[in-house]
Structure 1
Protein backbone atom coordinates (compact mmCIF):
# COMPACT_ATOMS: atom_id res chain seq x y z
CA UNK A 1 0.00 0.00 0.00
CA UNK A 2 2.84 2.38 0.81
CA UNK A 3 4.19 1.99 -2.73
CA UNK A 4 0.71 2.54 -4.20
CA UNK A 5 0.34 5.79 -2.27
CA UNK A 6 3.74 7.05 -3.37
CA UNK A 7 3.08 6.15 -7.01
CA UNK A 8 -0.39 7.73 -7.03
CA UNK A 9 0.88 10.73 -5.07
CA UNK A 10 3.72 11.32 -7.51
CA UNK A 11 1.49 10.79 -10.54
CA UNK A 12 -1.26 13.05 -9.21
CA UNK A 13 1.36 15.70 -8.32
CA UNK A 14 2.95 15.64 -11.76
CA UNK A 15 -0.44 15.77 -13.46
CA UNK A 16 -1.51 18.67 -11.22
CA UNK A 17 1.51 20.68 -12.36
CA UNK A 18 0.83 19.77 -15.99
CA UNK A 19 -2.91 20.51 -15.76
CA UNK A 20 -2.23 23.74 -13.87
CA UNK A 21 0.10 24.97 -16.60
CA UNK A 22 -2.32 23.77 -19.28
CA UNK A 23 -5.20 25.61 -17.61
CA UNK A 24 -3.22 28.81 -17.09
CA UNK A 25 -1.87 28.98 -20.62
CA UNK A 26 -3.47 26.75 -23.26
CA UNK A 27 -7.03 27.01 -21.92
CA UNK A 28 -6.96 30.71 -21.01
CA UNK A 29 -8.66 31.78 -24.24
CA UNK A 30 -11.13 28.85 -24.21
CA UNK A 31 -12.45 29.14 -20.64
CA UNK A 32 -14.50 31.90 -19.10
CA UNK A 33 -13.61 33.18 -15.63
CA UNK A 34 -15.95 30.80 -13.79
CA UNK A 35 -14.69 27.79 -15.75
CA UNK A 36 -11.09 28.81 -15.09
CA UNK A 37 -11.79 29.00 -11.33
CA UNK A 38 -13.43 25.58 -11.39
CA UNK A 39 -10.50 24.10 -13.29
CA UNK A 40 -8.07 25.66 -10.78
CA UNK A 41 -10.09 24.14 -7.92
CA UNK A 42 -9.63 20.69 -9.44
CA UNK A 43 -5.89 21.27 -9.81
CA UNK A 44 -5.54 22.65 -6.27
CA UNK A 45 -7.39 19.75 -4.65
CA UNK A 46 -5.44 17.28 -6.76
CA UNK A 47 -2.14 18.75 -5.56
CA UNK A 48 -3.23 18.87 -1.91
CA UNK A 49 -4.13 15.22 -2.03
CA UNK A 50 -1.03 14.23 -3.98
CA UNK A 51 0.99 15.65 -1.09
CA UNK A 52 -1.17 13.89 1.50
CA UNK A 53 -0.69 10.58 -0.30
CA UNK A 54 3.09 11.04 -0.29
CA UNK A 55 3.17 12.08 3.38
CA UNK A 56 1.01 9.11 4.37
CA UNK A 57 3.10 6.77 2.24
CA UNK A 58 6.21 7.76 4.17
CA UNK A 59 4.73 8.13 7.64
CA UNK A 60 2.15 5.39 8.18
CA UNK A 61 2.84 1.69 8.71
CA UNK A 62 -0.34 0.51 6.92
CA UNK A 63 -0.77 -2.38 9.33
CA UNK A 64 -4.50 -1.83 9.81
CA UNK A 65 -7.48 -1.88 7.46
CA UNK A 66 -8.41 1.70 8.40
CA UNK A 67 -5.07 2.92 7.04
CA UNK A 68 -5.57 1.02 3.79
CA UNK A 69 -9.12 2.38 3.47
CA UNK A 70 -7.80 5.88 4.12
CA UNK A 71 -5.32 5.55 1.26
CA UNK A 72 -7.90 4.26 -1.19
CA UNK A 73 -10.40 6.96 -0.15
CA UNK A 74 -7.81 9.62 -0.95
CA UNK A 75 -6.88 8.00 -4.27
CA UNK A 76 -10.44 7.40 -5.46
CA UNK A 77 -11.67 10.72 -4.08
CA UNK A 78 -8.93 12.67 -5.85
CA UNK A 79 -9.62 10.94 -9.13
CA UNK A 80 -13.40 11.35 -8.96
CA UNK A 81 -13.36 14.92 -7.64
CA UNK A 82 -10.65 16.54 -9.72
CA UNK A 83 -11.06 14.63 -12.96
CA UNK A 84 -14.83 15.09 -13.00
CA UNK A 85 -14.26 18.84 -12.65
CA UNK A 86 -11.83 18.76 -15.59
CA UNK A 87 -14.37 16.85 -17.67
CA UNK A 88 -17.22 19.17 -16.75
CA UNK A 89 -15.21 22.33 -17.47
CA UNK A 90 -13.70 21.15 -20.75
CA UNK A 91 -16.94 19.70 -22.08
CA UNK A 92 -18.83 22.84 -21.09
CA UNK A 93 -16.25 25.02 -22.83
CA UNK A 94 -16.79 22.97 -26.00
CA UNK A 95 -20.58 23.42 -25.73
CA UNK A 96 -21.28 19.75 -24.95
CA UNK A 97 -21.37 19.57 -21.16
CA UNK A 98 -21.11 16.01 -19.87
CA UNK A 99 -23.89 16.34 -17.31
CA UNK A 100 -23.45 12.81 -15.99
CA UNK A 101 -20.19 14.01 -14.40
CA UNK A 102 -22.09 16.50 -12.19
CA UNK A 103 -22.95 13.94 -9.48
CA UNK A 104 -19.47 12.40 -9.65
CA UNK A 105 -17.79 15.48 -8.15
CA UNK A 106 -19.60 15.37 -4.78
CA UNK A 107 -19.10 11.59 -4.58
CA UNK A 108 -15.38 12.26 -4.97
CA UNK A 109 -15.66 14.90 -2.27
CA UNK A 110 -17.28 12.37 0.06
CA UNK A 111 -14.40 9.96 -0.52
CA UNK A 112 -11.95 12.78 0.26
CA UNK A 113 -13.86 13.60 3.43
CA UNK A 114 -13.83 9.94 4.44
CA UNK A 115 -10.09 9.87 3.80
CA UNK A 116 -9.57 12.85 6.12
CA UNK A 117 -11.76 11.33 8.84
CA UNK A 118 -9.77 8.10 8.60
CA UNK A 119 -6.51 10.08 8.57
CA UNK A 120 -7.52 11.78 11.82
CA UNK A 121 -8.63 8.48 13.35
CA UNK A 122 -5.33 6.86 12.40
CA UNK A 123 -3.27 9.74 13.74
CA UNK A 124 -5.06 9.46 17.09
CA UNK A 125 -4.69 5.67 17.03
CA UNK A 126 -0.95 5.99 16.35
CA UNK A 127 -0.66 8.40 19.26
CA UNK A 128 0.28 11.45 17.24
CA UNK A 129 -0.65 14.45 19.40
CA UNK A 130 0.45 18.06 19.30
Structure 2
Protein backbone atom coordinates (compact mmCIF):
# COMPACT_ATOMS: atom_id res chain seq x y z
CA UNK A 1 0.00 0.00 0.00
CA UNK A 2 1.42 3.38 -1.02
CA UNK A 3 0.45 5.76 1.77
CA UNK A 4 1.66 8.75 -0.26
CA UNK A 5 -0.77 7.94 -3.07
CA UNK A 6 -3.66 7.48 -0.65
CA UNK A 7 -2.90 10.81 1.02
CA UNK A 8 -2.50 12.45 -2.38
CA UNK A 9 -5.92 11.20 -3.50
CA UNK A 10 -7.51 12.47 -0.29
CA UNK A 11 -5.86 15.87 -0.72
CA UNK A 12 -7.02 15.88 -4.36
CA UNK A 13 -10.61 15.31 -3.26
CA UNK A 14 -10.23 18.03 -0.64
CA UNK A 15 -8.93 20.37 -3.34
CA UNK A 16 -12.09 19.89 -5.38
CA UNK A 17 -14.25 20.42 -2.29
CA UNK A 18 -12.38 23.62 -1.38
CA UNK A 19 -12.58 24.90 -4.96
CA UNK A 20 -16.33 24.32 -5.05
CA UNK A 21 -16.73 25.88 -1.61
CA UNK A 22 -14.84 28.95 -2.80
CA UNK A 23 -16.76 29.26 -6.02
CA UNK A 24 -20.24 28.67 -4.62
CA UNK A 25 -20.14 29.84 -1.02
CA UNK A 26 -17.37 32.37 -0.58
CA UNK A 27 -18.05 34.56 -3.62
CA UNK A 28 -20.69 36.46 -1.66
CA UNK A 29 -18.63 36.61 1.55
CA UNK A 30 -15.07 37.46 0.49
CA UNK A 31 -13.77 40.52 -1.27
CA UNK A 32 -12.49 40.11 -4.82
CA UNK A 33 -8.88 40.14 -3.56
CA UNK A 34 -9.61 37.57 -0.86
CA UNK A 35 -11.37 35.32 -3.35
CA UNK A 36 -8.42 35.64 -5.73
CA UNK A 37 -6.07 34.60 -2.91
CA UNK A 38 -8.31 31.64 -2.05
CA UNK A 39 -8.32 30.57 -5.71
CA UNK A 40 -4.51 30.83 -5.79
CA UNK A 41 -4.32 28.49 -2.80
CA UNK A 42 -6.63 25.98 -4.51
CA UNK A 43 -4.69 26.19 -7.78
CA UNK A 44 -1.29 25.62 -6.14
CA UNK A 45 -2.73 22.77 -4.11
CA UNK A 46 -4.02 21.07 -7.27
CA UNK A 47 -0.73 21.60 -9.13
CA UNK A 48 1.08 19.84 -6.31
CA UNK A 49 -1.48 17.03 -6.07
CA UNK A 50 -0.79 16.31 -9.74
CA UNK A 51 2.96 16.51 -9.13
CA UNK A 52 2.59 14.12 -6.17
CA UNK A 53 0.73 11.64 -8.37
CA UNK A 54 3.58 11.78 -10.85
CA UNK A 55 6.32 11.50 -8.23
CA UNK A 56 4.71 8.54 -6.50
CA UNK A 57 4.01 6.59 -9.69
CA UNK A 58 7.25 7.36 -11.56
CA UNK A 59 9.22 4.15 -11.32
CA UNK A 60 12.63 5.74 -11.88
CA UNK A 61 12.49 7.47 -8.48
CA UNK A 62 13.63 5.34 -5.58
CA UNK A 63 11.55 5.13 -2.43
CA UNK A 64 13.67 7.65 -0.51
CA UNK A 65 13.40 10.24 -3.29
CA UNK A 66 9.64 9.73 -3.57
CA UNK A 67 9.24 10.21 0.17
CA UNK A 68 11.48 13.27 0.34
CA UNK A 69 9.70 15.06 -2.49
CA UNK A 70 6.31 13.98 -1.13
CA UNK A 71 7.02 15.33 2.35
CA UNK A 72 8.23 18.64 0.88
CA UNK A 73 5.08 18.95 -1.22
CA UNK A 74 2.69 17.78 1.53
CA UNK A 75 4.08 20.27 4.04
CA UNK A 76 4.28 22.90 1.29
CA UNK A 77 0.56 22.44 0.60
CA UNK A 78 -0.23 22.66 4.31
CA UNK A 79 1.87 25.79 4.84
CA UNK A 80 1.26 27.63 1.55
CA UNK A 81 -2.34 26.82 0.74
CA UNK A 82 -3.37 26.22 4.33
CA UNK A 83 -2.14 29.61 5.51
CA UNK A 84 -3.88 31.37 2.62
CA UNK A 85 -7.13 29.56 3.42
CA UNK A 86 -6.80 30.57 7.07
CA UNK A 87 -6.01 34.20 6.26
CA UNK A 88 -8.87 34.57 3.76
CA UNK A 89 -11.31 32.94 6.17
CA UNK A 90 -10.52 35.26 9.05
CA UNK A 91 -7.33 34.33 10.87
CA UNK A 92 -5.30 37.43 11.62
CA UNK A 93 -2.72 37.63 8.84
CA UNK A 94 -0.23 39.29 11.20
CA UNK A 95 0.02 36.09 13.20
CA UNK A 96 0.67 33.60 10.37
CA UNK A 97 1.83 35.63 7.34
CA UNK A 98 5.32 34.08 7.52
CA UNK A 99 4.00 30.54 6.97
CA UNK A 100 2.97 31.16 3.35
CA UNK A 101 6.49 31.85 2.02
CA UNK A 102 7.86 28.87 3.97
CA UNK A 103 5.35 26.70 2.11
CA UNK A 104 6.43 28.26 -1.18
CA UNK A 105 10.07 27.57 -0.32
CA UNK A 106 9.22 23.92 0.40
CA UNK A 107 7.58 23.70 -3.05
CA UNK A 108 10.73 25.11 -4.67
CA UNK A 109 12.97 22.70 -2.76
CA UNK A 110 10.74 19.79 -3.78
CA UNK A 111 10.92 20.78 -7.44
CA UNK A 112 14.70 21.20 -7.24
CA UNK A 113 15.01 17.78 -5.58
CA UNK A 114 12.99 16.37 -8.48
CA UNK A 115 15.25 18.13 -11.02
CA UNK A 116 18.35 16.79 -9.27
CA UNK A 117 16.90 13.28 -9.31
CA UNK A 118 16.23 13.55 -13.06
CA UNK A 119 19.75 14.87 -13.61
CA UNK A 120 21.30 11.96 -11.71
CA UNK A 121 19.35 9.46 -13.85
CA UNK A 122 21.01 10.66 -17.08
| TM-score, with length taken from structure 1 | 0.85
1:31 is paired with a residue whose SS is coil
Q: Any unmatched runs of 5+ in structure 2?
A: none
Aligned length: 122
The root-mean-square deviation of aligned C-alpha atoms, in Å, is 1.8
Which residue in 2 is equivalent to 1:116? 111
Q: How does 1:33-112 map to 2 (within 5 A)?
A: 33-60=32-59, 62-63=61-62, 65-91=64-90, 97-112=92-107
1:5 touches 1:56 (CA, 8 Å); kept in 2? Answer: no
Work out the CA distance in 2 between the residues paired with 1:3 and 1:76. 18
Q: Does 2:5 align with 1:6? A: yes
1:62 touches 1:68 (CA, 8 Å); kept in 2? Answer: no
Work out the CA distance in 2 between the residues paired with 1:107 and 1:10. 24
Q: Any unmatched runs of 5+ in structure 1?
A: none
Runs of 4+ in 1 over 2 A off after TM superposition: 60-68, 96-99
Work out the CA distance in 1 between the residues paired with 2:55 and 2:116. 13
Deviation at 1:8, TM superposition (A): 2.3
Which residue in 1 is equivalent to 2:16? 17
Deviation at 1:64, TM superposition (A): 6.0
1:77 touches 1:108 (CA, 8 Å); kept in 2? Answer: yes
1:81 touches 1:104 (CA, 8 Å); kept in 2? Answer: yes
Deviation at 1:70, TM superposition (A): 1.6
| TM-score, with length taken from structure 2 | 0.90
